[in-house]
Structure 1
Amino acid sequence: MLQDNAFARLSDFDDKKAELTAIRRHLHAHPELSHQETETARFVADKLKAWGYEVTEGVGGHGVVARLKVGDGRKSVAIRADMDALPIQEQTGADYSSTTSGVMHACGHDGHTTVLLGAAEYLARTRRFNGTLTLIFQPAEEAGATSGAQKMIADGLFERFPFDAIFGLHNHPGASEGTILTRAGPIMAASDTIEITIKGKGGHASRPHLTIDPILVACNLVVSLQAVVSRYIDPTQTAVVTVGTIHAGEAVNVIPESARLAITVRTFDKQVRDAAKARIIALTNAIAEGHGAAAEIHFDPGHPVVTNSEAETAFARTVAEELIGAENVSTCSLIPGSEDFAYFLEHKPGSFLRLGNGVKSAILHSDKYDFADDSLTVGAALWARLAERYLHD
């Protein structure tokens, strides 16, 4: 049996808490939007260079990749953190609040970056592993279709910096600080957008019989879409269909020519994803045709399902239980939110974990959200121990 003191322990980071807190709060006070992470990337790269990493900047935009090889081991592991912020005006009242108007770290990427930096410093200082460590600081996780994961992959991430498996984490409001949640298989949803334009025939509101009212068609469609999940998806599966926007008309006495809807679809299975799309298209066309209208449908596929591989998730859970005790590690429920970490997992085995951010934490993307500093040392120790255990001789 491997001795516990052969790998990083939580106590190894006790004297680093103040330093990690200072780093996290600096990043929090200086947020940058997706594809604009110039200073954040520079801050990260400078620290990694000072610790002795081989650092490559500008990968897929503002991405930073740091590598450290120790010994002659052939195994290689990658750990990823995201760096970008959101276009939200902060309302936390913290003395380290965002200094950039209208931009804040409302999703905890400041914390994700900090815990990986904390692990990076420890691993460079102790070098108790045998193999190649790859640290990925990713831009633009929040950017949707132009996300940083896709851009880094397109820029040759896997070819330029080969590794065997990849791990990442996200903070989890609602779970106690410093706890860890894992789940094998699907953990976060695919997210697709469907934009629909109902084309009718405009006219005077007092003479509806001379028109084809696109608002009536749109309203019928909204109601019918509620049946997609409840009547056309296997009840043992999970899916969400939400009409997020509906726009039509400018004047109370005018029936407009068209109405526009935008729908978000969240699923955890490819067959369910395809079935939901097909049913929405069929319902849209049928309802429009039934009212004499026409429909234009644009399907915009979003991030795929985040699917954790079994072996890597079991390994990560073992590491977490060794670090903080099995009583502080739990199985994560399915999360209908999406994550571009899914693209990495389409190419490499790995696992995406959740790190507790506090039972009373504000929700993600809230103007009152803040990353829990009490989780910093747990996150840093987790990554350090996981890297050492994965690259153990």
Structure 2
Amino acid sequence: MDDATGGQERSDSGKDTVQDLFTPLTVGSLTVRNRFAMAPMTRAASPDGIPGPDVAAYYARRAAGGTALVITEGIRIPHPAAGWPDRIPNLDGADVLAGWRAVTDAVHAEGGTIAAQLWHQGAARGVHDDDGPDHVPVSPSGVDLAGVAIGRALSTEELPELAQAYALAAANARAAGFDAVEIHGAHGYLLDQFLWEHTNHRTDGYGGSLAARTRFPAEVVAAVRAAVGPDLPIIFRFSQWKMNRYDAQVVGSATELEQLLAPLVEAGVDVLHPSTRRHYVPGFPDEDPRLSLAGWTKKMTGLPVIAVGSVGLETEFNPGEAGGPIPPSSIDRLLDQYEAGEFDIVAVGRALLADPAWVNRVRDGKLDQFGGFDAASALGRLY
């Protein structure tokens, strides 16, 4: 039933309008059956970097439960300093790719699609007792998120080879049956370290202005696009907040956001994934007190956008003092954003840890408050 504004009238339960989220979407060679994705969440459950049958079963359960697009945990690109520990999966080698083929086959068998998240931790890798000489952390300027010296700065000459490591990972992902790749450029990891002025102090063509800080991430996107061809979707995940700085900002205005995203889009990004801790918080409240970062991203680029952040939380979630508690989400907030065209897909994290069938329960109207679980109960349940 349409109301006077032309939108669908929302029933008391929201169920009628929720069904709008159960429509397909096609981007390039990828078609998802609904608008729900599984957010990437690190598990460190792949000994020697090789995903085993338990990994395939873990992701397949979410696909069987209705999740249309599974975005994997961060996968180390083939670079010696890409990540720690070695239980984090990688994307190079016959045994590894055979393991990933089993994962993608399992997800496809349940009607889902799957994207590989390509990850380099940069300075966030840290230094560890079992490191060899090739595992020294590398970053734009040899400093961590707190500004403390660690590892070494990447030379200008090293950057093309590093971009090709992303490209190799992407090509391997395609060969292993992935439907898309997501480039991790958020949360204070390597590409975000280039984007953020507090970790990028370079004086060459890759530091200084916002355009220069965006240059290497855009070169990574271009290398990945060349490796996977024109049709495989490339998702780019970015964020304002960092793992130890919830108040951090890469850009301070919508104009700067457009300057950040334009080179990435031109280089070949198909989908943008602005990571926020709360999907409903305004991106730039002084410019628009309602529009989320996802909404601004959609407005500035016109590309498909993945929203994320506390979706499905029924109770307040407090991860500790840093950043403060996260209030519960609500179906009304999410649907208002969707109806306003702020996002195309919504990524869900903790709710899918607690209940792999959460999406199907949303579809069937079996969740009283759209969340249906205590947020804290999901912690540690990376099964």
TM-score normalised per structure 1: 0.28
Q: Which has the larger radius of gyration?
A: 1
TM-score normalised per structure 2: 0.28
